Every structure is written in C-alpha cells, then in structure tokens.
Structure 1
Amino acid sequence: MNVDLYLGLLRNAERTLATSFRQVADGHGDEPDVYNLCHTLAEQCDDHVSQLHPIVERYGARPDSEPERFHADALTETRSGPVGLLRDLQDVFLLASLVDITWTVVKQAALALRDEELLAVVGSCEPETQVQLSWLKTRMKQAAPQALIVAS
C-alpha cells in the first residue's frame, strides 16, 4: 500500500503552502487584503496538517524519494511592485493546485479503503483548498490590469 507516500506529499505540500502564504502576506503587507487573508489561509493550511495527524499516525507518511518532479518549494522571498504581487500570487496558486489535486488522490484512496475518518478529513480540508484557489485566481484577476497595463 502506498497511501503513506501521498499522505507525506500532502502534509509537506500543506506546510509549504502555509509558509508561502505567510511569505506573500509579509512581502506585500502594503496590500491589506493580501496581508490579512494570506495569514488566514496559512492558518487553514496549518489546521489541515493538524487534521491529517491522526491519519498519518495510522498509515505513516513516507517521504517521497523522487526528485523535485512533484514538489514545489515555498517562496523564500517576494517580488516587489504590482507585477511582483501578480507573480507571487501565481506561484502560490501553483502550490495550492498541487495541494488540491493531492487531496483528490487521497480522497480516492479513502473511498477505496472505506476509511470514514480520512474521508471526513478530506471533506473538511479539500473545500477550503478550493476556496483558496478561487481567492487566488480572483485576486490575480484584480491585480493583472494594474500590473500589466498601467505604466510603472
């Protein structure tokens, strides 16, 4: 059984996403909505990791030995200006997309295993990840005209 492989991937991806949301919040603190909401979304990711804990205790969380193919690094620094915000949000969107599809894969395993506890965790966390993606996409749409059309 390889559920532990995807649980490890999911846990690490959620941690990475939390770190990246905080980096964007702190790097773009002049944007109040970005600052406040990114911190809130980071806390959601932290909560997802906490909810996964009992599942990981049961199945384990094997680290993935594949090279960076299915991994994404957290943002370590933010870019400046409107284009920088747009690019940083896009990077976080890619991370959140990885988290989202990993929740989908884990859900399929939970269904096959008939694991009600894991299904409950997925049912709680997956919709929040989808809301994160929706907000990121909306915020990028809002930032794009300013960043791409208005002269800097």
Structure 2
Amino acid sequence: MKLPVYLGLLHRSEGTLAASFRQVAEGHGHEPDVHFLCLTLAAQCDAHQKALAPIIARYGETRDEDEPERLHAQGLAETRSGPVGLLRDLQDLYLLASLVDITWTMVKQAAQGLRDVELLGVVANCDGQTGTQLKWLQTRMKQAAPQALIVAR
C-alpha cells in the first residue's frame, strides 16, 4: 500500500505551506489583511498536520525512494518587496496550496477505497479549508494585480 507515501507528502506539504504563509505574513506586514489572514491560514495548516497525526500513527508515513523530489515543493525562504513582490509571493503560496489541495484529493480517494470513516472526516474538514485558502489567494491576487502590473513605480 502506498497511502503512507501520500500521507507523508501531505504532512510535509502542510508544514511547508504553514511556514510559507508565516513568511509572507512577516514580509508583507504593511498589508494588514495579508499579514493577519496569512497567520490565520498558517494556523489552519498546523491544525491539518495535527488532524493527520492519528491517521499517520495508523498507516505510517514514508518516503517512496523511487519518487522524484520534484513532487516536494520548497517553501518561501524570503519575500519580495513592493506590489509585484506581493503578487509573486501570493502566487507562490497559491502553487503550494494547489499541491496540498490535490494531495488531499488523492488521500480522499484512498480513504473512500478503504472505507475509512475517520480519514474521510479529516479530509472533509481539511480539504474544505484548503479550498477556502485557494479562493482567498486567488481573490487577493486579483485585487493586487491592477496596482502591481499597471501603476508605474
């Protein structure tokens, strides 16, 4: 069974996303909505990791030695400055959140196949929140794009 590979990917990806949300919150503290919402979303990712703990205790968490590292996203090490920097940082967060979102989908498919009610409950809660994170990121990028891409600085 390869579910432990995807549980490991999900666990690591949620941690990477949480750290990246915190990085953007600190780097763009002059944008109050970005700062506070990124901290809130980071806390959601932390809660997702915690919710996965009993599932990982049951199924395990492994790295597939044959799996290429290209599926393991790197977090944001630093933030960019200015309006275009904010837009690019939000876009990076969106890519990370998309990885988390599709990984939840794969884990959900496995949970349905296993008829694992506990795992399905975790997926329903966490995947829904990840979807909301993606929607907020998309909305915030749409809001930032005109200012960043049209207004000369």
The answer to whether the superposition gives a TM-score over 0.5 is yes
Which residue matches 1:144? 145
> Take 2:147 and 2:52, find their aligned partners in 1: how far apart are those partners?
39
Aligned pairs for 1:7-26 within 5 A:
7-26=7-26
CA deviation string 1:36-71 (max 9, x = no partner): 000000000000000000000000010243332211
CA deviation string 1:70-106 (max 9, x = no partner): 1110101000000000000000000000000000000
> Take 1:94 and 1:124, find their aligned partners in 2: how far apart are those partners?
21
Deviation at 1:12, TM superposition (A): 0.3
Which residue matches 1:47? 47
State, as a whole percentage, how many aligned pairs show the same letter: 69
> Take 2:68 and 2:29, find their aligned partners in 1: how far apart are those partners?
34
SS at match of 1:99: helix
Which residue matches 1:89? 90
Instruction: Give the residue type in structure 1 aligned to 2:125.
Output: S
SS at match of 1:83: helix
Structure 1 residue runs of 5 or longer lacking an equivalent are: none
SS at match of 1:79: coil
SS at match of 1:77: coil
Q: CA RMSD in A?
A: 0.7
> Take 1:67 and 1:30, find their aligned partners in 2: how far apart are those partners?
38
> Take 2:141 and 2:118, find their aligned partners in 1: how far apart are those partners?
35
> Take 2:150 and 2:10, find their aligned partners in 1: how far apart are those partners?
37
Instruction: Give the residue type in structure 1 aligned to 2:56.
Output: V
- Structure 2 length as normaliser, TM-score? 0.98
> Take 1:79 and 1:128, find their aligned partners in 2: how far apart are those partners?
26
> Take 2:80 and 2:72, find their aligned partners in 1: how far apart are those partners?
21
Aligned residues of 1:21 and 1:92 also touching (Cα < 8 A): yes
CA deviation string 1:98-140 (max 9, x = no partner): 0000000000000000000000000110000000000000000
> Take 1:101 and 1:4, find their aligned partners in 2: how far apart are those partners?
16
Aligned residues of 1:9 and 1:64 also touching (Cα < 8 A): no
Deviates more, 1:68-77 or 1:42-51: 68-77
> Take 1:114 and 1:91, find their aligned partners in 2: how far apart are those partners?
34
Aligned pairs for 1:120-139 within 5 A:
120-139=121-140
Q: Which runs of 4+ in 1 moved over 6 A?
A: none
